[in-house]
Each structure stands twice: as C-alpha cells, then as structure tokens.
C-alpha cells in the first residue's frame, strides 16, 4: 500500500515525520510521501527536512518519497513552483485542487493538469471534463480522497475521470493518526466513489511507478 498525500507538523499535521512513518508502517504501508503544504516561503525547507528522515523510514520498511503539496499558490505560479520543487529533489508534486470546501483560486485545476512537473491533483472538486481530459493527456492522476469534506465530490471526479480516461489514485490526505486508513477502507472509499469492483481493483493495484513515472 502507498499514500502520497500525508501531512506532518511541518504544515498542519499532528505528527512529526518519523512518528507518521512508523504508524504508516504498522498499518501495512510500504511506500508514502510526505506532502506538506508548500508555497515559495517554505518549499526548500520541506524538501530538505524530508531528506533527513529517509534513513529512518527505510529502517521501518517504508520507501519515503520526498513530496510537497502546492497549496493556494496563484494558478499563474503553479508551473514555476512545481518545476522549482522538482529541481530541489521533490519526487512527488501534489497540487491542492479546487475542493468545494476551501476558496481555492479558479484555474488551479487547469494549471495543475497542464504542468509536466505535477504528479497528482488532490481533491479537484467539480473538475471540468476539459481539465479531466488534460489530466489524461498529460498523465496527471486525479485524487479520490477519504478526507471529510473533500470527499463530497469523489463521485463527480470518478465520473469525469472515466469519461476522459484519466487515472485516479485513492489517498487519505492524512493530518492525524485517525486519518490513516486500512487496505479494506481504501477499497470501500473506491467503491463508495462509484467505482465498480473491477475498477477499484485496477486503481488499487497500480504501482507507485505507474502513478509517478510518466
């Protein structure tokens, strides 16, 4: 199991990185990314800090991918900061999408799915068919989330992705220990979003390489 959308005390999460890593390992995960909220003020710090705990992660049996979640950055700057994050060593670039529960700037989804340096568009809300098509064309995964609030549009995202042929990934958007979900719950989230059993099996069996290497 893997989850590339995990937060720590470096942004608004409750756990320091190593405690989160340990709890993920106990829950059965073998791969994860710490993707704390990032803008131009802290992107260097986040990436540098994660490099310091990769050894600890390995000792717990976790492959830790260095990540960031670009959050509330103006759409016109998303391509610039995503490219910069990759140049600093980020292995996973997530963009905080246009969830219906936060005032995310219109155009954020489109900027993310148009960018060659973005891997995952998190909780994209009422994503348009046009933007889902761009995600399919450019290999950006759309997130199906278990997080309260953001999950309200999971069904819409699944349908838009299905029509466009875009890939989706089930993630938890972890902020606290209670947000870590089991393998069974991952499947239930997929089914609850409207996937068929076969679709859920396909989505949950994708490897990290299929999601992150385009």
- CATH number of the structural domain spanning residue 144: 3.20.20.140
Asked if residue 87 is part of any domain, the answer here is yes
Domain extent at residue 36: 2-206
Number of domains in the chain: 1
Q: Is 70 a member of any domain?
A: yes
Asked whether residue 212 is assigned to any structural domain, the reply reads no
Does residue 9 lie in a domain region? yes
Residue 213 domain flag: no
What's the pLDDT score for residue 81? Answer: 98
- CB of 68 closer than 8 Å to CB of 93: yes
What is the tens place of the pLDDT at every residue in 86-126?
999 999 999 999 999 999 999 999 999 999 999 999 999 99
Q: What is the pLDDT of residues 175-211, one digit of tens each?
A: 999 999 999 999 999 999 999 999 999 999 999 999 9
Reading the block at residue 157, the tokens are 């995202």
Measured CA to CA, the distance from residue 92 to residue 68 in angstroms comes to 7
The answer to whether 195 touches 203, Cβ cutoff 8 Å, is yes
pLDDT of residue 13: 98
């Amino acid at each position: 199991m893997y989850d590339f959308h995990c937060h720590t005390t470096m942004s608004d999460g409750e756990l320091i990185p190593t405690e989160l890593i340990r709890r993920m390992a106990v829950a059965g995960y073998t791969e994860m990314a710490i993707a704390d909220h990032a803008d131009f003020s802290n992107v260097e710090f986040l990436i540098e800090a994660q490099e310091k705990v990769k050894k600890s992660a390995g000792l717990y049996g976790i492959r830790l991918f260095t990540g960031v979640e670009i959050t509330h950055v103006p759409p016109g700057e998303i391509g610039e900061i995503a490219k910069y994050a990759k140049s600093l060593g980020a292995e996973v670039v997530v963009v905080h999408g246009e969830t219906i529960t936060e005032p995310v700037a219109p155009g954020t989804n489109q900027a993310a799915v148009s960018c060659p340096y973005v891997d995952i568009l998190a909780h994209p809300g009422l994503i348009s068919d046009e933007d889902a098509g761009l995600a399919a064309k450019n290999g950006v995964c759309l997130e199906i989330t278990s997080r309260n609030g953001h999950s309200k549009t999971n069904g819409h995202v699944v349908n838009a992705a299905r029509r466009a042929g875009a890939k989706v990934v089930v993630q938890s958007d972890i902020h606290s220990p209670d947000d870590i979900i089991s393998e069974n719950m991952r499947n239930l989230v997929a089914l609850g979003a409207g996937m068929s059993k076969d679709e859920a099996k396909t989505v949950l069996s994708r490897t990290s390489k299929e999601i992150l290497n385009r």
